[in-house]
Structure 1
């Protein structure tokens, strides 16, 4: 195993753990709780390279699937993948991938990318809302009012902080000069 491969594995594991820790910061808020999970996804998506970010989220999901209490509220297990909020968990993969790819292809890793962070977060909210609607057989309006609308402003704030923090972390992790 090469030095780069081992370093990638460590980064993947570290950010999966960070996501698990941030997931525990939860405020009950209707059917969909307010958590720092999307903040964690944005942070790893904007700090790690695309493959690393995808594998980090997949590791997090695998840890939860096997029963470790890494999801919001300190829960884990197979049942977390068959409930009304599963769509949010599954959306973490494309959310992190989109953000990481966006920054790699179009963004500037040495500049704030708040818009890309917000798009990633809104994708997670949208996919989670769609899952919630179909899982509960509810209406589109009730799903959007429960799982999307109340989170727009908090997600904007999380996007700004994650973008700023990633701006500081990238030079440390990849040892490149920051502007």
Structure 2
């Protein structure tokens, strides 16, 4: 670990916290821009530091700092209905980073899509168990309303990553 990578990991933990506050408060799962931040963290920092950035984000929230959607924090959020989505962020960033290390926008995009699938699966499963929903109902409540908007976020993330990697060497092989 070097200072640059620690700073970038911290920066993306902060970016994830900021994007969690851009919220459309529908229930039980609010619409936020965290998926965009997680995809960017993995794609720009790589698997290791993308993962670390999201662990830092989760730890900040777990100790009560209001970094989660609607300025919430605490273990109760992680253990609640939407906690599975949050817990998936480090793994999603890792998978995205793994594919981004293979280089090329196609690999990065595949990684982002797989990361989103991981977020959906873990989020939907925790939603199902906490709210005692059927798998179909959990999908309809916790995935279906978000699919199109999240895919648009990933397209935006791909353009951002592509632009940054062409113009900067700060993130290359972070």
- When normalised by structure 2's length, the TM-score is 0.91
2:39 is the counterpart of 1:66 = no
On the 8 A contact 1:118/1:155 being kept in 2, the answer is no
For structure 1, the 5+ residue unaligned runs are: none
- Residue in 2 aligned with 1:172? 168
Q: Over aligned residue pairs, what C-alpha RMSD do you find?
A: 1.6
CA deviation map 1:74-114 (0-9, x unaligned): 11112112211110000101111111001213x41xx3533
- Residue in 2 aligned with 1:130? 125
For structure 2, the 5+ residue unaligned runs are: none
1:115 Cα offset (Å): 3.5
Matching residue within 121, 125, 147 for 1:152: 147
Residue pairs, 1:10-25, within 5 angstroms: 10-25=7-22
Aligned residues: 170
- When normalised by structure 1's length, the TM-score is 0.89
1:120 Cα offset (Å): 1.3
Larger Rg: 1
On the 8 A contact 1:20/1:60 being kept in 2, the answer is yes
Q: Distance in 2 between matches of 1:104 and 1:82?
A: 32
Q: Distance in 1 between matches of 2:53 and 2:93?
A: 9
- Residue in 1 aligned with 2:33? 36
Q: Distance in 1 between matches of 2:41 and 2:141?
A: 26
On the 8 A contact 2:46/2:96 being kept in 1, the answer is no
